[in-house]
Amino acid sequence: MALRIIFMGTPDFSVPTLNALAKAGHEIVAVYSQPPRPAGRRGLDLTKSPVHQAAEALGIPVLTPLNFKLEEDRQAFLNHQADVAVVVAYGLLLPQAILDGTKLGCYNGHASLLPRWRGAAPIQRAIMAGDTETGMMVMKMNKGLDTGPVALTARIAITPSMTAGELHDALSDIGAKAMVEAIAKLEAGDLPLVEQQSEGVLYAAKIDKAETRIDFSKPASEVHNHIRGLWPFPGAWFEAEVNGKLERIKVLTSAVSSGTGQPGEVLDDMLTIACGEGAVKLTRLQKAGGKPLNAQDFLRGTPLAQGTVFA
């Protein structure tokens, strides 16, 4: 017998889970998503979230409360008389009234191996820290920040060149399968819950713009992890003087290389840059307003001579 599910999510990361639950035959009685936001070059057009659009394509009603402070919003949630709520990157902390608002509770799909990387940016933080493994965890939610007991874990290796975008897509697919499996076990009354360990807790703070600038004084491995952990959003960058003008240049991809020099120094004509320890090769770059280019093509239009030092 299918469960009555409330789905709560916002970005494209959440869409595969919504689609997978619908395909599995569950009755998704409502979808909750963040309200439409300004978009477009002038910010005048309101754009529905990816989950909002996916739900409409499935013919599921969508609700977009700013929060659940209003009694009418809390009551509307209860009125669905759902068996369970499934939450994947919704973007709001849920009050106790909502956590208790279904028969079986709220289950969250979280993109880390809890208790490591609780919080807003677990994918980026795992790569930036040089982690070699992560995963998706299905967790029964409580009032804490990603502190609830874990029901199911799906692991994945983080390869040395994997970007945050690539890991995002892989975890999105893995998470959809894991949630379908967890909900099937829940429906059968066979979903064990294991409390999280108290050791190894790390918080994945939201990425701050101030930390996106590349610091070439760090070891090459850390610079490389910084670059791949911030691609495609918000992007790591450095500044260089081009034709007498200081320009911001984003680095899309890189590779750890060899070489020594002053941190930030261009060591050759292939954009190998000296770091505090070792060197990193910048393999794909993008100027502000320009298109992404591999290093060779980039250098044709933006000469960065050997011996140049990036501050």
In one-letter notation, the amino acid at residue 78 is: L
Query: For the structural domain made of 209-301, what CATH number should be given?
Result: 3.10.25.10
Burial degree of 53 (CB within 10 A; 0-12, 13-18, 19+): middle
Averaged pLDDT, 51-59: 98
Q: Do domains 4-203 and 209-301 have the same CATH topology?
A: no
Residue 195: count other Cβ atoms within 10 Å of its Cβ. Answer: 9
Whether residue 113 is annotated as binding a ligand: the answer is: yes
What gap in Å lies between CA 55 and CA 62, rounded to an integer?
7
Collect all residues with Cβ–Cβ distance below 8 Å to 309 and sequence separation of at least 6.
262, 264, 265, 266
- CATH architecture of the region 4-203: 3-Layer(aba) Sandwich (3.40)
Contact 150, 142 (CB under 8 A): no
Q: Please report the pLDDT score of residue 43 as a whole number.
A: 62
Whether residue 49 is annotated as binding a ligand: the answer is: no
Domain boundaries, the chain: 4-203, 209-301
Q: Please report the pLDDT score of residue 42 as a whole number.
A: 63
- In this prediction, residue 41 has a pLDDT band, given cuts at 50, 70 and 90, of low
pLDDT for 245 beyond 80: yes
Tens digits of residue pLDDT in 80-90: 999 999 999 99
Instruction: Say if pTM beats, i.e. exceeds, 0.75.
Output: yes
Whether residue 115 is annotated as binding a ligand: the answer is: yes
pLDDT for 242 beyond 90: no
Whether residue 35 is annotated as binding a ligand: the answer is: no
